[in-house]
Structure 1
Amino acid sequence: MDNVMFSIIVPVYNAQKHLEQCVDSVLNQTYFNFELILVDDGSIDSSPSICDAYSNQDKRIKTIHQENKGQTSARKKGLEESIGKYILFLDSDDWIDQDTLKMSSSIIEKYTPDVLVFGWNEYRNGNYIEIDSCLKEGFYRRQDIEEKILASLLMNENGLFFPRALWAKVYKRELIIENLNKVPEIIRNGEDMCCVVNTILHADSLYICKNQMYMYRIENESLSKSGDEFAFKRCKVMANFLNETIIENETLKEQYNRLLVQQMYSAAVRMHNAIGFNKRFIEEYKELVSDSLCKEAINCAYFSKENRKLRMKQRILKFGMRLISSR
C-alpha cells in the first residue's frame, strides 16, 4: 500500500475476550486509507489465531508475532513496521468511534497539527462515562502550547494534568518515532506518560478536539490493584528518565515533584501487593527514597489545600522515609 494516511497500532497480549470488537471498530471506519498493525506480544490464548484470521481476510491488516516483551516493545515494533503518515495507538480491549479517522483527516487537512488529541469515554461495568480533559478545543501553535499546556503538562497544584495515555491521540509519524523510541522498556507504569510528555515538549503544534471518539474499557483488574515486584526499580528508572526530559524547563520542575509523589506511592502499593511488607520491601524502598530526585519530591512537592488525596500520599511517603531511616 502506498501513501497510507493512518497506521493504527494495537499491542495484543491475551486479549481474546475483546480483540474482535477492537479490530472491528477499525474495519468499520468511514475513512478507508489506513493500515492496521496487530502486534501479538507472546499471547498464550487464542489472540494469535484471531490476529492471523483478520490478516488473511483484509490486506490492510498486518500481524506481527514476537515473544513477550511488554506493551512498549510491541508498540515500537508496530511503529517500525508501519508506513502511515500519521500514527494512532489503540489498546486491544478498547475501541474507536466509526468516524474517528474521518474526523482526524478533516482536522489534519485544515490544520496539519503535529499532535491531535480527541476526547474519550470510559466504559465501566456496562456504562459510559464521558471524560472532560478541561482543555479548550482548538488549534495551538508552539507559543500557545508553552502558555496554555505546559502549566499542567505533568501535574498542577490541584492534581490536574494533560491526558497521559498514548491512545486517543494522532501523531505525525516522525515525531512519535523519535519520542517513543526513547522510552525505556523496563518502565511498566507511566510508560505512556513518558512518551506523551516528550512528544508535547517537541511538538510545534497541537489540536484539541472535544469529540469523544475513543472508548476506554475499565474492568475490575487494574494496575493500581495488581502487584509488581520490580515496582520500585521501575519507578526510579522513570524518575531519572523524566528528569532528563524536563531538566532544562523550570516550568516543569515543580510539577515533576508532584508527579513523582504520585508515582512513588503507586509503586509502593504495587510492590506491597506483590511481596508484602518485608525486609526486601524495606530495603528497596530505602534505596528509592535515598535517590536525590525522589527525596526532593517527597520533601518539596507542593499541593493545594484542596488536593487532600495527594497531600495524604505525600505524608505517608514522608512517614515511610522516616520509619526506615530509624531502622
Structure 2
Amino acid sequence: MPKVTIYTQAYNPGGYLKQCIESVLGQTYRDFEWILIDNASTDGTPALIDAYAEEDSRIIPIHMERNTHTSHMFYRFLREKGSGRYVTYLDSDDWWDPDYLEHLVPFAEENDLDFALTGAVQYLQREGTSSVLRQWDEPLLLTGDGFARNFPVIGPFAGALWASLRPMEKVLAMEGAPEDAEIWRQGMVWRSDTLMMLNYLDRCQRIGIDQYAPYHYRRYSGSLSRRYTDSYFKSNVYFCQKLEEYFRRHGVLDGTMEEYVKERYFFEMDWSLEVLRGTRMAADEKLRICAGMTSHPRTLAALSCRCREQETWRAKLQDIVDDALCSGEFSDTDALGALLRPLVPDCCEVLTVKGAALFARERDLLPLL
C-alpha cells in the first residue's frame, strides 16, 4: 500500500491542471496514490485526467456526473479509494515543488504528528509574481493547547486543507462529526475548508510546522475564492464564533484573544469586501449587502477594537460607497444610511438621491459624507 494518498477535486481549471499534475508526478518521493476527481468539468479536464491516468497507475481517476461540494464527498472517496497512511490535499490550480512530499512525510513520521503543516507561496496570476504567503523559520512542534495559545501567529498555517499532511485514520474519524455536518447544513461553502481544519485541529495532540514553503497557491480572478456569494459574510461570522469556542475549550480565551478575534473578524470582512467590489453586482445591491454587514451584532461589538484590520475594512467600505455614488445607478438612500449609521453615528440623517448626486459630481466632498 502507498504511504500517501493525495486528494484533488478539479472543476474547469483549464490549463492550470497540467502544471498541477506534472508537479505531482515529478515528486522525488514516489510512494503515493492520487485520487484525482473531475467534478463535472465542462472544459478539457476529463480527457486530460484520463490521459495521465493511462500513463501512471498511481492516478485514480473519478468523474462526477454533476458538480458537488460537500465534506461527504471528500470522506467518501478517501474511505472507498484511499489506502495511504497519510492524506494530503492539492487544489487543481495549484502546484508543488518537487520535494514537497520528501520533506513533509518524514517530518510527520519522525515526530508522530497528528497534523504536519508546511509553508506556502502565493502566485498572482495576472501580475506573474510570487511571494511567501506563510513560512516558519525552523521546525516547530506543539501540543493542541500550545497551538491554540499561539494561534494569532501560527493559525494561518491551518487555514486551508492544502499544505498539510494528516494520518488517514484520524481524518476518517472526522466523517460524520456534527461540527463538520453543521458547516454544510448551513450552506457555508466559503471558508468551509478553514472551518473543517479548525474542527480537526481541535482533536490534535501533536502538531508540527516545518521550515519550508513548497506549496504554490495560485490566485486569480476566476478562482472560486474570488466569486462573491451570500455565504461569505455568514461564514465569517460563524468562523469567528467557532474560533472563540475553540479558544475557550483550550483555556486561552482572555482579553488578548478576544481582541484578536475582533481583528480576525475585520480581516475576513475586508477580504469579502474586496471580492464584492470586484463583482458586476448593481450599486444598490452592494450597498444593501454592506449595510447588513455593518449593522450585524458581531460587527457592532467589534467596532470597539481600533485596529489596522478595521481601518482597512472601513477603507474598502468607503470605496464601495464612492463607486455607488459615482455609478449613476445609486437610489437606495436607506441602505446607505444603514451602512453609515454605525460607522459615523454623528453624520447627517437626511440624504436624498439628488443630494447624493452632488457628492458624486464633487469627489472631494465624498469624505464629508
TM surpasses 0.5:
yes
The separation in 1 between residues aligned to 2:8 and 2:149, in whole angstroms, is 31
Equivalent residue number for residue 157 of structure 1: none
TM-score by length of 1: 0.78
Query: Cα distance, 1:17 vs. partner?
Result: 0.7
Equivalent residue number for residue 69 of structure 1: 68
3-state SS of the aligned residue for 1:93? coil
Opposite residue 188 of structure 2, the aligned amino acid is: I
* Greater alpha carbon shift after TM alignment, 141-150 vs 103-112: 141-150
The separation in 2 between residues aligned to 1:124 and 1:289, in whole angstroms, is 30
Equivalent residue number for residue 259 of structure 2: 254
3-state SS of the aligned residue for 1:106? helix
In the alignment, is the contact (CA less than 8 A) between 2:120 and 2:163 conserved in 1? Answer: yes
Equivalent residue number for residue 91 of structure 1: 91
Opposite residue 11 of structure 2, the aligned amino acid is: Y
Equivalent residue number for residue 192 of structure 1: 193
3-state SS of the aligned residue for 2:37? strand
The separation in 2 between residues aligned to 1:76 and 1:284, in whole angstroms, is 34
Equivalent residue number for residue 212 of structure 1: 213
Query: Cα distance, 1:255 vs. partner?
Result: 2.1
- 1:204-225 per-position Cα deviation (integer Å, ceiling 9, x unaligned): 1222222232222233546675
With over 3 angstroms needed to count, the CA separation of the structure-2 counterparts of 1:229 and 1:150, relative to structure 1, is: closer
Equivalent residue number for residue 114 of structure 1: 114
With over 3 angstroms needed to count, the CA separation of the structure-2 counterparts of 1:271 and 1:141, relative to structure 1, is: closer
With over 3 angstroms needed to count, the CA separation of the structure-2 counterparts of 1:133 and 1:15, relative to structure 1, is: closer
RMSD value over aligned CA atoms?
Answer: 3.5
In the alignment, is the contact (CA less than 8 A) between 2:123 and 2:130 conserved in 1? Answer: yes
3-state SS of the aligned residue for 1:275? coil
Opposite residue 18 of structure 2, the aligned amino acid is: E
**Are 1:133 and 2:134 an aligned pair?**
yes
- 1:130-166 per-position Cα deviation (integer Å, ceiling 9, x unaligned): 5163534224131783486324355xxxxxx545232
Counterpart pick for 1:21 among 19, 22, 27:
19
Query: Cα distance, 1:88 vs. partner?
Result: 0.7
The separation in 2 between residues aligned to 1:69 and 1:302, in whole angstroms, is 40
The separation in 1 between residues aligned to 2:280 and 2:235, in whole angstroms, is 14
Equivalent residue number for residue 158 of structure 1: none
Equivalent residue number for residue 292 of structure 1: 297
* Greater alpha carbon shift after TM alignment, 206-215 vs 228-237: 228-237
Query: Cα distance, 1:301 vs. partner?
Result: 3.1
With over 3 angstroms needed to count, the CA separation of the structure-2 counterparts of 1:179 and 1:217, relative to structure 1, is: same
In the alignment, is the contact (CA less than 8 A) between 1:8 and 1:36 conserved in 2? Answer: yes
Opposite residue 95 of structure 2, the aligned amino acid is: W
The separation in 1 between residues aligned to 2:129 and 2:271, in whole angstroms, is 26
3-state SS of the aligned residue for 1:101? helix
The separation in 2 between residues aligned to 1:146 and 1:229, in whole angstroms, is 31
3-state SS of the aligned residue for 1:296? helix
- 1:87-117 per-position Cα deviation (integer Å, ceiling 9, x unaligned): 1111111111222222223223321211212
In the alignment, is the contact (CA less than 8 A) between 2:118 and 2:212 conserved in 1? Answer: yes
Counterpart pick for 1:173 among 168, 173, 176:
168
Query: Cα distance, 1:175 vs. partner?
Result: 3.6
Opposite residue 277 of structure 1, the aligned amino acid is: A
TM-score by length of 2: 0.70
Opposite residue 114 of structure 1, the aligned amino acid is: D
Bigger share in strand:
1
Equivalent residue number for residue 312 of structure 1: 312
**Greater RCO (Cα-Cα under 8 Å, separation 6 or more):** 1
Opposite residue 275 of structure 1, the aligned amino acid is: M
Query: Cα distance, 1:50 vs. partner?
Result: 1.8
Counterpart pick for 2:5 among 7, 12, 16:
7
Equivalent residue number for residue 269 of structure 2: 264
Opposite residue 142 of structure 1, the aligned amino acid is: T
3-state SS of the aligned residue for 2:116? strand
Query: Cα distance, 1:48 vs. partner?
Result: 1.7
Query: Cα distance, 1:263 vs. partner?
Result: 2.0
The separation in 2 between residues aligned to 1:153 and 1:139, in whole angstroms, is 10
In the alignment, is the contact (CA less than 8 A) between 1:19 and 1:92 conserved in 2? Answer: yes
The separation in 2 between residues aligned to 1:105 and 1:216, in whole angstroms, is 20
The separation in 1 between residues aligned to 2:260 and 2:173, in whole angstroms, is 24
Q: Where does 1:28-107 land on structure 2 (aligned, <5 Å)?
A: 28-66=26-64, 67-70=66-69, 75-81=74-80, 82-107=82-107
In the alignment, is the contact (CA less than 8 A) between 1:40 and 1:74 conserved in 2? Answer: no
In the alignment, is the contact (CA less than 8 A) between 2:3 and 2:84 conserved in 1? Answer: yes
Opposite residue 164 of structure 1, the aligned amino acid is: G
Gaps of 5+ in 1: 155-160
The separation in 1 between residues aligned to 2:197 and 2:247, in whole angstroms, is 13
3-state SS of the aligned residue for 1:53? helix
The separation in 1 between residues aligned to 2:133 and 2:342, in whole angstroms, is 40
Opposite residue 68 of structure 1, the aligned amino acid is: N
The separation in 2 between residues aligned to 1:207 and 1:218, in whole angstroms, is 26
